[in-house]
Amino acid sequence: MPGFLEQLLQGVNSASRIVTSSYVFSTKTILLLKDLATGGSGSRNIPVRLREAFEELGATYIKLGQFIASAPSLFPEEIVTEMQKCLDSVRPLSFSEIQKVLKKELGRNYQNLFQSIDPVPMASASIAQVHSAVTKDGLDVVIKVQRPDIEGALGADLNLLFLASKLFEVFVPGLNKSGLSEMVGMFQSSILEEIDFIKEANNCEEFERYLLSSGETRARVPKIYRELSTKRVLVMEKFYGAPIIDETSLRKFSKDPSKTLSDALEIWFSTLSKSGFFHADVHAGNLMILRDGTVGFIDFGIVGRISSKVWEGLMIFLEGLALNRTDRIASGLVRMDGTAKGVDEKKLAKDLETVFDQMSKMVLDIQMGELDALDERKMNAILFEFRDISDRNGLKIPKEFGLLVKQILYFDRYIKSFAPELDLIRDREKFIR
């Protein structure tokens, strides 16, 4: 009977979630009608009301808002702009709620596993909350605790979103070829990966195995404490240091900031070129300079894996970017698609000229020291233009392509702060051992 009861409970929760979602959206619709009735601009307020509904509904919809913000070619500009405000930072859970999850996951006597757990969170996001702690053996750790019932809510929300996308493609003119349901499917698989902390632990240890096998001592990842971790609780070593782009800390912990950044880049590129595995979310908060001067890679919730063909294509693509040659960029994109047949590379290169000019300008501005040139919205627009042009020319570009290009441009921006003599795209071969 437990199986039946569990399924029944999931069904009730799903139905309840659908009712809640409908109520929130209908409330926002009423507010829009009120805006119109009082002489306000309903069309101008639609993006705001939609973003408010997403934030009120929590994790899935906050992530969806961020996804919309990163997909400017699929959604209206005013909605994309408003969704930039969907921050993955929410009201912290009370410590009593965190304790309930720990009790359920680690056992009734979980307190015996720790000397102390700081009740004040280090960070609170839509999916999980992070607390500092000390194990019973006196080790400093951080505990990443999934929000209660997040998996059930995500399941109901994602199923509803996928069904809605299918219905839109059937009934809304012009959407049947938009790939909307495919994009929702990608969003679904991405967020489901993110809520499985066992997979995150596996990703972290996979990166660590590469570091060990290659004798790499310039970088570290947090040790995972498997005996204290579950799918919903992740306990790992606490790193002491600062974001690698914090100039004061970088110069405090490193005698040669330029070399430290170069080392981080070389390690990331080396892992990618030799194993096809890469950390796909190396923003400033996930790349640290530790007190001993080594580089710390943290948060492996989002990773990527590529084939040798994608790697070869990426190198050709970067060569084209460095040499201002759209023919090489076109060749690189064709190489990435192992199934491509009969693609007219000259036509593809011609179609790419406009978007190539946009990317070249962004890269040049970064290299000239204009660090704000890497605007997330512009970058996403460029990447989706690449995808659309490729689609029209019969190419299927792997989803990892966008992740790779973004990470490379983020690194290029980092090194311009402390190592302006380095040029990642031009000197890419230097970072591949």
Catalytic residues: 281
CA distances from 407 to 8, 84, 276 (A): 44, 19, 15
Cα separations (Å) of 3 from 6, 9, 101, 105, 300?
A: 5, 10, 21, 19, 33
Location of structure tokens 């209206």: 76
Kindly compute the dihedral angle of the four CA atoms of residues 181, 186, 189, 195, in this order, to the nearest 10 degrees.
-110
Which pairs with CB-CB distance under 8 Å and at least 24 residues apart come from 180-187? 180/74, 183/67, 183/71, 183/74, 186/399, 187/63, 187/64, 187/67, 187/161
Residues whose CB is less than 8 angstroms from the CB of residue 414 and which lie 6 or more positions away in sequence, other chains included: 244, 245, 261, 284, 287
What distance in Å separates the CA atoms of residue 355 and residue 389, rounded to the nearest whole number? 9
Tally of CA atoms within 13 A in the half-sphere of 75 that contains its CB: 23
The torsion of the CA quartet 122, 125, 127, 129, rounded to 10 degrees, works out to 20
Sign of CA dihedral 22, 24, 25, 28: positive
Backbone angles phi, psi at 120, to 5 degrees: -90, 120
